[in-house]
A and B are shown apart, each in its own frame.
Chain A
Amino acid sequence: MKQDVLRPGDIAVALALAKAPQAALSALASTTGRSVGEVHNAIRRLNAGRLLKPGQREVVREPFLRFLQWGMPVAFPARIGGITRGIVTARVIAPKDVGAGKARDGDLVEFVWPDVDGTVRGQALTPLYPAAPAAARRDVGFWTLLALVDLLRVGGAREQVLALDQLERVLTWTPD
């Protein structure tokens, strides 16, 4: 028997589930940019880690937020590189950032996921999982979540408070 270990992409699946608990596997795969099989395995590992309600696809928000705060920087430490071109991350995605693709060539931001199509520049931050930049480009809401998680990985105490506050707002929001 092998020990279950959470993988970075599993966190993306948990974020997608927190946003849409009833979503089908195919929808989750489309949101996160992972295959249906990978999403299925991620849900199994998240269940084993008790980050989902037993037998359900619903994230247990409080423990999940605590894991994001204290577990992410330790389990998936940020890997920072040199100044490069890419997509904005590790910040609260403001409306002006959504058009980052239209930003003036050479605009400098804090951190970016290296990306050939990105036009802003910043310190390279390795994405949580390889498909993150593509998934972020497809869904701004999901991009916001990934960027906040990166802020938790890379930021200090003040940035953590800010990121957690934003994540709490998004993850505890329930549709009418």
Chain B
Amino acid sequence: MCEQSSSGLATIARWLHPVANRLVFYGIETCRHILGSEPGRVRGDGLAAGNPGVIATVPLDRLAPEIGFHIRTRERHALGESWVFPDATRITVTAAVHAADATDAVLLEYATLLTQHVTVSNGQQVRVVSLPVQLALLWRAHLRSGHTFVTSTYIEDIVELAARRSSIAADVAALPGELRGIVAHDIAKFCASDAASWVVARAIHDARDLAGVVTHVMAQLEAVAMSATA
């Protein structure tokens, strides 16, 4: 298991412990935690880890006061809030009830429903969004970011997810149709893009020297695109 990501998640889980039963964790760090036992080394865990996020099943104004004494800074933004804790840990908190549009509403609702429990390093249990829904969350985040495939950090996270989860296409195929639609929106476009193999090679170190790794990951992504549109 990836030590850094699990300890990062444990730190956040500790801060959010009082309200943990109303939160669902997501983000590439949580994916790495779930995938930790699977073989295959992708990007170094010691390199920059993505900021984890949480989805609250209740309005944030009801949630924040319960742990208010822990929160050093609370910043509001369009999609939720950023909370900074005394040890400079920063998380993005989104309320499932305050979705920006209908697609986000569907996505956030499923994200709070399709979850799994994981135990972090301090023994605490947290709910984490299941991997295929994380894929959909990553796609939405990429579309919202306005970045191209080459500059998007979310696309690299998607590549990492596809590389490490051998059953990702089957997982996506089993998703409800609405969610599959979100995943299908751009994934086929990405596969067809001439930057796709370049992005895969950058996201996965081994792919720089082993062209077969790129081929394998591209096949995984194409299978996801096909299962999403099936």
Q: How far is the CA of A78 from the CA of B202 in the complex (A)?
A: 11
Q: Which residue of B lies closest to A109 (CB)?
A: B46
Of the candidates B43, B152, B155, B208, the one whose C-beta lies within 8 Å of that of A80 is B208
B82 contacts chain A at the CB level, 8 A cutoff: no
Determine the chain B residues whose CB is within 8 A of the CB of A110 once the complex forms.
44, 46-47
Q: How far is the CA of A158 from the CA of B151 in the complex (A)?
A: 9
Q: How far is the CA of A44 from the CA of B208 in the complex (A)?
A: 33
Of the candidates A73, A77, A80, A155, the one whose C-beta lies within 8 Å of that of B48 is A155
- Chain B stretch 163-204: residues in CB contact (< 8 A) with chain A: 202-203
A161 contacts chain B at the CB level, 8 A cutoff: yes
Interface centre among B44, B50, B151, B202 (most CB of A within 10 A): B44
Q: A80-B208, A80-B209 are known contacts. Are A156 and B156 too (CB-CB below 8 A)?
A: yes
B153 contacts chain A at the CB level, 8 A cutoff: yes
Q: Are A162 and B205 in contact (CB under 8 A)?
A: no
Q: How far is the CA of A145 from the CA of B62 in the complex (A)?
A: 45
Determine the chain A residues whose CB is within 8 A of the CB of B152 once the complex forms.
157
Q: Which residue of A lies closest to B151 (CB)?
A: A157
Of the candidates B43, B46, B151, the one whose C-beta lies within 8 Å of that of A91 is B46
A87 contacts chain B at the CB level, 8 A cutoff: no
Determine the chain A residues whose CB is within 8 A of the CB of B155 once the complex forms.
157
Q: How far is the CA of A93 from the CA of B32 in the complex (A)?
A: 24
* A-B contact sample (8 more), CB < 8 A, given A110-B44, A157-B150: A80-B209, A91-B46, A91-B47, A157-B147, A158-B47, A158-B48, A158-B153, A161-B48
